[in-house]
Amino acid sequence: MVIETIPKGYKQTEIGIIPDEWEVKRLGECLLKNPDYGINAAAVAYNDTLPTYLRITDISEDGKYLSSNKVSVNNTLADSYYLEEGDIVFARTGASVGKTYLYNKNDGKLVFAGFLIRVKVNPKLLDCKYLIFLTQTKSYLAWVLANSMRSGQPGLNSNEYQSLQIPVPPTLTEQSAIARVLSDTDTLIESLDKLIAKKKNIKQGAMQQLLTGKKRLPGFKDEWDVKKIGAIAEMYSGGTPSTFVPDYWNGSIRWMSSGELNLKKVYDVGGRITELGLKNSSAKLIPPKCVLIGLAGQGKTRGTVAINYVDLCTNQSIGAIFPNETFVPEYLYYNLNTRYNELRNLSTGEGGRGGLNLTIIRNILVPLPIKEEQIAIARVLSDMDVELEELEQKRDKYEQLKTGLMQQLLTGKIRLK
């Protein structure tokens, strides 16, 4: 058993090591009044003459209001359940138990539903923004898991939430300073998310224009051909070695499952098979720059398109269009990648619920400019992808930074005055 050393100026408490000046308090000690439950009423279609309804499903995992699927509530008692500035709601039941949301007036007037519990923080004792960040920590989530598991559906009631023990810095100034640093980090992440969404929309528009010839790049005027995939390329599906034969697995040959199509541009995969597994299955070693299509698979996998940049094998639920000199693989990848819904609708079986097959894929028509134009189109879209990847990496770094800051600031390992 490893005993954690307590630094000078810190103390061991029931919730961990915190600075000597900090206290451990029950959430209930820091409230203006006992928590209250939301209104039990059915949601109705959104109507701007009725109150907007806030349900558990309208709160994101990171505590933001999701306004994309607004609903209303039509109940004479609704006026008693409007959220006010500083109010925090806690989800009290189901898979989302423990989820929290700090009311933001910019979200509009909201009436909170019955599966939410509202707490009103005493502003003389606790900064509400400080508290909301505490509810995003691993220790809080562990507390929720440990205390919400009952027979049947998980849940937490108002008394249990009031029993939550929290570390409390001695001054509101320090609490607010901690919340401000974390809020500023959130603002950076949100601004990057908005920029990423904007760039994705621009790329989507560019693909729709460039890949159909509605917009031509400078210097290109030649007419386009329209050809079936089967007329320009060979196509094969993969296979899976028997999982009952250990000698077929954990070798040096990359083996791709259909779930890895979501990588889109594939430079490595998780699976590995042996030469023996390759020889004793319908798996085939395919070259780089094959355009890969999900033929079957759970959920959204069917119709998903990717392109590999390393030699690999695939399972039988992936079709591979082999590269050759008659077309540019990246161009074909981008073209088919924009046609996800079309591909799914081509699936065999009633209502498109079956799977794609090689015959269906071979008969898909593709508009083909000359190779030089294909290269130019693919380059433009690839540059957009690179920009998006850089933005996403930057956003991920800020998220990691926030996680580290939360661990340091909310335990007092780093002090702000």
pLDDT at 297: 62
The encoded tokens of residue 26 equal 């029950």
Q: How far apart are CA 220 and CA 284, in angstroms?
A: 38
Q: Tell me the CATH number of domain 23-168, given options 3.40.50.620, 3.40.50.720, 1.10.10.10, 3.90.220.20.
A: 3.90.220.20
Contact partners, residue 330, CB within 8 Å, separation at least 6: 289, 307, 378, 381, 382
What is the torsion angle, in degrees rounded to the nearest 10, for the CA atoms of residue 140, residue 142, residue 147 and residue 152? 120
Q: pTM for the full model? A: 0.85
The encoded tokens of residue 104 equal 């933001």
Residue range 189-205: mean pLDDT, rounded: 97
Q: CATH 1.10.287.1120: which residues of the chain?
A: 170-220+372-417
Distances (CA, A) of 339 to 211, 226, 302, 321, 332: 11, 16, 12, 16, 11
DSSP β-ladder status, 235-237 and 318-321: antiparallel
In 233-280, which residue ranges form alpha helices assigned H by DSSP?
275-279
Answer yes or no: is pLDDT of 100 > 70.
yes
> Tens of pLDDT along 151-164?
567 899 999 999 99
**5 pLDDT band (50/70/90 cuts)?**
confident
Q: Which fold has domain 170-220+372-417?
A: Helix Hairpins (1.10.287)
pLDDT at 289: 98
Q: How far apart are CA 132 and CA 383, in angstroms?
A: 39
Single-letter amino acid, residue 80: S
> Tens of pLDDT along 359-396?
999 999 999 999 999 999 999 999 999 999 999 999 99
> CB neighbours (10 Å) of residue 14?
6
Q: Do residues 202 and 384 lie in contact, with contact meaning Cβ atoms separated by under 8 Å? A: yes
Which numeric CATH code is attached to 225-368? 3.90.220.20
Please give the mean pLDDT across all residues of the chain: 94
Distances (CA, A) of 219 to 73, 222, 226, 255, 361: 58, 9, 21, 42, 32
Q: CATH 3.90.220.20: which residues of the chain?
A: 23-168, 225-368
> Tens of pLDDT along 287-339?
999 999 999 866 789 999 999 999 999 999 999 999 999 999 999 999 999 99
Answer yes or no: is pLDDT of 246 > 80.
yes
The encoded tokens of residue 24 equal 């451990």
Share of the chain above pLDDT 70, in %: 96
Q: How far apart are CA 3 and CA 55, in angstroms?
A: 44
